Amino acid sequence: MARPTERTEPVLHNRLAVLRTERGLSRQDLADALGVNYQTIGYLERGEYNPSLELALRAAEYFGLPVEALFSRRPFTPMSEQLYAGARRTTKSDEPHA
Amino acid sequence: MTQSSAKQDDSRIDRLPQRFRRVIAVTTLVGLPGMYVWSAFWLTTSVPNLVWGQLSFLLIGATIAGSFVLYRFVRDRASMPGAGLDERRRHLRDQAWVLCYQILSAVVVIGVAIVAILVLGFGRVVTLDATSVGAVALSVGVLIPILPIAALAWIEPDPPADA
């Protein structure tokens, strides 16, 4: 039998911390916006609490992004890596063909 | 939409590490029954009254002081229906109640098993005098309301470092 304190649910990766920092929000600001306790934001960011679908959708709505941009079952590729990969592709396609 | 509690309201008790909370929870739950067990044992010894009194006071004090700390830490987060709790706190509250049920079930099953073994296995006669019934009734009356609070203080994880 699983003890109540054991974590049994799978880890859900998220980009909440990045998005919050990017927009200059404190945990309290985000908590107020989403209607949760500020500590809940900390647990969400650390991946120690998986949000309900309703809270996930509320967060996505707040950031104006699709929910899969915030939460994923697989680890996210770092945003910087994605950005530079995109930039490299653009540069290569701009080069004149020999 | 649920509430958000103000960060600035947090006191030292609100930030008690889980390890300390667990020690306080166990001490609180063990204090009062421990006093009765100690008193029953003391009756069979020649330990002076002063020692009995001091140790009993310490054990009762552990339950009283521990209850205050746990109530202050948990506040109304262990209560039903939990208006004002966000979904994570409601989830934790539910886990605490499950833990309470498991603890109570274990205590009842173990208690009944011990009596059954004594009576059926060893043919002992188990008698309950007024003092024993009073001790059990008072312990149950005091500890049952504290149990959900102690369980919640036990399972609540430490808050994120920079929260």
- Pairwise CA distance, residues B27 & B70, whole Å: 11
pLDDT of residue B1: 44
Which chain B residue is nearest to residue A3, measuring alpha carbons?
Answer: B99
What is the pLDDT, as a whole number, of residue B6? Answer: 47
Spell out which residues of chain A touch residue B74, defining contact as CB-CB under 8 Å. none
**ipTM exceeding cut-off 0.95 for this assembly:** no
pLDDT surpassing 70 at residue A89: no
pLDDT greater than 60 at residue A80: yes
Mean pLDDT value across residues B11-25: 90
pLDDT at residue A48 is higher than 60: yes
pTM over 0.95, yes/no: no
Q: Encode pLDDT of B61-109 as tens digits.
A: 999 999 999 999 988 787 777 778 889 999 999 999 999 999 999 999 9
Q: Which residue shows structure tokens 């939460």? A: A71
Say how far residue A17 (Cα) sits from the centre of its chain. Answer: 7
Q: Which residues of chain A are within 8 Å of residue B96 when distances are taken between CB atoms?
A: 4
From the list A38, A52, A55, the residue facing B7 with the nearest CB is A38
* Domain membership flag for residue B121: yes
Mean pLDDT of B109-125: 93
The values of phi and psi at residue A71, to 5°, are -125, 140
Q: Give tens-digit pLDDT for B128-147.
A: 888 889 888 988 899 999 99
SS3 A2: coil
> For residue B102, which residues of chain A lie inside 8 Å, CB to CB?
4
Please report the DSSP string for B18-63 in residue order.
HHHHHHHHHHHHHHHHHHHHHHHHHTTS---HHHHHHHHHHHHHHH
Percent of chain A at pLDDT > 90 equals 53
Residue B160 lies in a domain: no
Q: What is the mean pLDDT of residues A30-35?
A: 94
pLDDT, residue A93, reads 63
Closest residue on chain B to A26 (Cα): B163
Q: What is the pLDDT of residue A86?
A: 66
The confidence band for A79, taking pLDDT boundaries of 50, 70 and 90, is: confident
Q: Are B29 and B147 in contact (CB under 8 A)?
A: yes
Nearest to B96 by CA among B146, B28, B50, B162: B146
Confidence of residue A31 (pLDDT cuts 50, 70, 90): very high
The beta strand positions in chain A, using DSSP E, are: 13-14, 71-72
What is the count of structural domains for chain B? Answer: 1
Contact with chain A for residue B73, Cβ under 8 A: no
Give A34-55 as a DSSP string.
Answer: HTS-HHHHHHHHTTSSPPPHHH
For residue B112, give its domain range.
Answer: 2-155
Search chain B and give the residue with CA nearest A53. Answer: B87
Chain B (91-150) residues lying within 8 Å, Cβ to Cβ, of chain A: 91, 95-96, 98-99, 102
Separation CA B25–CA B58 (nearest Å): 16
Contact (CB<8Å) B2/A31: no
Cis peptide before B81 (omega within 30 of 0): yes
Instruction: Confirm whether B108 is domain-assigned.
Output: yes
Average pLDDT, chain A: 83
Does any domain span residue B90?
Answer: yes
> What are the residues whose beta carbons fall under 8 Å from the beta carbon of A34, sequence distance 6 or more?
A41, A55, A58, A59, A62
Name the token pair of B138. Answer: 């008072």
- Would B70 be classed as within a structural domain? yes
Of B4, B7, B160, the CB nearest to A46: B160
The predicted structure's pLDDT at residue B4: 44
Nearest chain A Cα distance for residue B99, angstroms: 6
B86 to chain A, any CB pair closer than 8 A? The answer is: yes
- Rg of chain B taking only CA atoms, in angstroms: 19
Give A89's contacts (C-beta < 8 A, 6+ positions apart). Answer: none
Considering only A87-91, B41-45, B144-148, which range has the smallest mean pLDDT? A87-91
- Give me the phi and psi of B139, to 5 degrees please: -65, -45
> Residue B120 has which token pair?
């059926």
Min mean pLDDT across A18-27, A84-93, B2-11, B135-144 is at B2-11
Q: Which residues pair with A14 in a beta bridge?
A: A71
User: What rounded mean pLDDT belongs to chain B?
Assistant: 88
